[in-house]
Chains A and B, each alone.
Chain A
């Protein structure tokens, strides 16, 4: 199995590197490829099973978009073929959309591989706990960002939010799911905080009956946190 980590020099804010740190423990025999800013992505010329994008600064979003624009057709083909899985956490979700509207009203054209757009509102920072349903699972996490996203097709929604905010304040839709692409505003240790989702992702990668690293401990932490998220009157920010 081959897993490509895109631009770890910059796509590594807010503890997002935890996801690949954990996946390395779950998949000790997998090959992890760290693609640097000056490298051609591996997915361009050979098969990989999972491509991961982590959170980045707004300035680096634009840098990453510029680097990936030459490969957007390849990205779109891979997403449509549903053979390669994609995971994007935090504001990496926005680089996959149609465009990002900057604070001054100008637009940065993005990769256009999913049907969404983002609007930045810096210096307003949006922080929230999030809990919602993904298929039969309960997903929990945290979002912290300067922007909101908007999708036209709500069937692409990844998580239906019960607690907290979705892609924008007017929707319970959180994240975008398109075949094997999972893009979510939830940031940080998503795969450590959500063992059911991690197992699901591993099955998408072809792992039969996946067993998680530190499975007992990870489920214990998950159950404790689920109860905390559901406490009445909890402050979301």
Chain B
């Protein structure tokens, strides 16, 4: 019976896939949704390519998935990946549908699957990937993900014991995955960076105490939030020793030297943002474990070029208007963007367009996360004005006041499109428009209106 269901599901899913592609759709979700409806065991029963790698984590999973897939493709592998599609069970089922023939035999060498961290429980036990890369676990949306300990438990419980884990040694939550089941674990990490600090600078620093004896951990290096190399002065507990390690990253470096088993290898640095260096290192560790040579990985990474920036900048006269992605409901993502903004030169106006678009239409967004976000970074002389936009602007105003930003430097615009006409442009070098994934359209409209105003002034 299960064979009949599987065959039917596969054929219907493939038909759906080709029909959707014919009309120009991505077909990244519906074929898998139908397949799972017909055959609930589809993910378990469908044949998998010989090489199967999954990537999960709070941030960076799309970047790492794409890097691994691109290097494999450049190295001659045929690859099925969900880079443009859904990362929950139906999306994975759709992707796996494209990795088999009509008769059900694998027709790809590899699958590279981005997996939503909460959805791992519905995917990993059935897909049984050979490798699981975990970029790191941080606080995210409380509605869906609760807290990192919960996500840790989900991934830890549902990862098959046969899966090799590729883990970030510098992130103490995910670094402990696979301990109970005894999974093979491979760690990556960065020994030191020019930008390292000695003590916590962010409001949220989870995992600050020893999991064995509760003593406050001491960090040899701290980068952001709880990312760094920690040790317990009381019981000797420490971050794992990385198998793939970058000994030092300087601010102007264009390459990274990765040491593995005593051998140092050079790779092009494709983005100098710290979180992207970790992403690249995760991909290098995973690809190396899959058996690709250093030369092949380095050559392929070199062809990728610089990662597409989440910044889009336009300069009119002497003023740059910069759109910067700042994921709402996610204090870590937002804090990293605010940290970036504060380090940029010149006199700045910062426009916050981070209200959740879906909540604003039907509900009232819970904005507790803004109190875990370091708006204190904007209490800097270089930030001449902060513009709080959208229905939650009154909440943002309070948060900014509590962050130490003077009342005179805060502008409230409940209607976002009033902001471009009202915000300060005299004696300003740049205007940063920080937006959430759901407010990208309004942020683009605001940017355009602001550009028009600047052009009219010329």
Contact residues of A with B, CB < 8 Å? Answer: 9-10, 12-18, 21-22, 25, 36-38, 57-60, 63, 122-123, 125, 127, 129, 142, 144, 146, 187-189, 192, 214, 217-218, 220-221, 224-225, 228-229, 234-237
Does the CB pair B143–A125 fall under 8 Å? yes
Given contacts A57-B146, A188-B368, 6 further A-B contacts (CB under 8 A): A15-B372, A17-B203, A36-B216, A125-B144, A127-B143, A187-B368
Q: Can you list 26 contacts pairing A with B, beta carbon distance less than 8 Å? A: A14-B372, A16-B371, A17-B203, A22-B402, A38-B214, A38-B215, A57-B149, A60-B149, A122-B150, A123-B121, A125-B144, A125-B146, A127-B143, A129-B364, A144-B143, A144-B146, A146-B146, A188-B367, A214-B402, A217-B397, A217-B401, A221-B395, A225-B394, A228-B364, A228-B391, A237-B363
Within the complex, the shortest CB–CB distance from A57 to chain B, in Å, comes to 4
Does the CB pair A123–B154 fall under 8 Å? yes
Partner of B363, one of A38, A59, A129: A129
Cα A123 to Cα B149 in complex, Å, equals: 13
Query: With A9-B208, A237-B143 as given contacts, are A25 and B402 in contact (CB-CB < 8 Å)?
Result: yes
Q: Does B197 contact A (CB under 8 A)?
A: no
Residues of A contacting B150 with CB < 8 Å? Answer: 57-58, 122-123, 146
Residues of B contacting A58 with CB < 8 Å? Answer: 149-150
Determine the interface band of chain B, counting residues with CB < 8 A from chain A. Answer: 20 to 34
Within the complex, the shortest CB–CB distance from A90 to chain B, in Å, comes to 10
Cα A144 to Cα B397 in complex, Å, equals: 24
Q: Within B129-169, which residues are at the interface with A (CB < 8 Å)? A: 139, 142-144, 146-147, 149-150, 154
Residues of A contacting B311 with CB < 8 Å? Answer: none
Cα A25 to Cα B154 in complex, Å, equals: 39
Residues of A contacting B371 with CB < 8 Å? Answer: 15-18, 21, 188-189, 192
Q: Does B77 contact A (CB under 8 A)?
A: no
Residues of A contacting B395 with CB < 8 Å? Answer: 221, 225
Q: Does B370 contact A (CB under 8 A)?
A: yes
Does the CB pair A142–B214 fall under 8 Å? no
Contact residues of B with A, CB < 8 Å? Answer: 121, 139, 142-144, 146-147, 149-150, 154, 203-204, 208-209, 214-216, 362-364, 366-372, 391, 394-395, 397-398, 401-402
Residues of B contacting A229 with CB < 8 Å? Answer: 364
Specify the chain B residue showing the minimal Cβ separation from A187.
B368
B150, B372, B394, B398 interface centre (most CB from chain A within 10 Å)? B398
Residues of A contacting B370 with CB < 8 Å? Answer: 15
Specify the chain B residue showing the minimal Cβ separation from A126.
B143
Cα A152 to Cα B369 in complex, Å, equals: 33
Does the CB pair A224–B394 fall under 8 Å? yes
Does the CB pair A188–B366 fall under 8 Å? yes
Cα A59 to Cα B146 in complex, Å, equals: 13
Cα A17 to Cα B372 in complex, Å, equals: 8
Does the CB pair B147–A57 fall under 8 Å? yes
Residues of A contacting B368 with CB < 8 Å? Answer: 14-16, 18, 142, 187-189
Within the complex, the shortest CB–CB distance from B438 to chain A, in Å, comes to 15
Cα A58 to Cα B209 in complex, Å, equals: 17
Cα A144 to Cα B368 in complex, Å, equals: 11
Cα A60 to Cα B394 in complex, Å, equals: 33
B203, B215, B371, B391 interface centre (most CB from chain A within 10 Å)? B371
Specify the chain B residue showing the minimal Cβ separation from A227.
B364
Residues of A contacting B402 with CB < 8 Å? Answer: 18, 21-22, 25, 192, 214
Does the CB pair A15–B143 fall under 8 Å? no
Query: With A21-B371, A58-B149 as given contacts, are A142 and B398 in contact (CB-CB < 8 Å)?
Result: no
Residues of B contacting A14 with CB < 8 Å? Answer: 142, 147, 368-369, 372
Cα A38 to Cα B395 in complex, Å, equals: 35
Partner of A220, one of B144, B203, B209, B394: B394
Within the complex, the shortest CB–CB distance from A179 to chain B, in Å, comes to 27
Residues of B contacting A142 with CB < 8 Å? Answer: 366, 368
Does the CB pair A236–B363 fall under 8 Å? yes
Residues of B contacting A228 with CB < 8 Å? Answer: 364, 391
Query: With A22-B402, A38-B216, A59-B149 as given contacts, are A144 and B366 in contact (CB-CB < 8 Å)?
Result: yes
Residues of A contacting B147 with CB < 8 Å? Answer: 13-14, 57
Residues of A contacting B154 with CB < 8 Å? Answer: 123
Partner of B398, one of A15, A38, A187, A192: A192
Residues of B contacting A224 with CB < 8 Å? Answer: 391, 394
Specify the chain B residue showing the minimal Cβ separation from A17.
B371
Residues of A contacting B362 with CB < 8 Å? Answer: 234-235
Cα A65 to Cα B394 in complex, Å, equals: 37
Cα A129 to Cα B368 in complex, Å, equals: 13
